[in-house]
Amino acid sequence: MEELEQKLGLDEEKKQSMWREELGLVLDREYYPVAFNSDAYLRDFYAQIDDPAMRIIHMFMPLIVAKLPKGGRMCDFGAGPTN
């Protein structure tokens, strides 16, 4: 399959587009390991953040993290996807 994808010039974004838009497939969890591209998902998610609450979280999150002691931990709920 990988060889065929290379011959057709299919990168991850093209495959995602083809599955979603051109073929109209809804993929279930069986296909998740091969069909979900977390990098493409994150690029799309962070491309434009319209929600004012999310903008505030994303503005203050780096400041909060900077105040943590070195090696400190933080648990974030609701500020977007995690890769």
Helices (H), ranges, the chain: 2-8, 12-17, 32-35, 38-47, 52-66
Q: Give yes or no for a contact between 18 and 54, defined as CB atoms under 8 angstroms apart.
A: no
Average pLDDT over residues 58-63: 84
Residue 52: per-residue pLDDT: 85
Which of 41, 42, 43 shows the shortest CA–CA distance to 16? Answer: 41
List the domain boundaries for the chain: 2-66
Whether pTM exceeds 0.95: no
Conformation bin of residue 71: beta by default, left when phi > 0, alpha when psi is -120 to 50: left
- pLDDT, tens digit, 9 for 90 and up, residues 36-52: 777 888 888 778 778 88
Average pLDDT over residues 44-67: 82
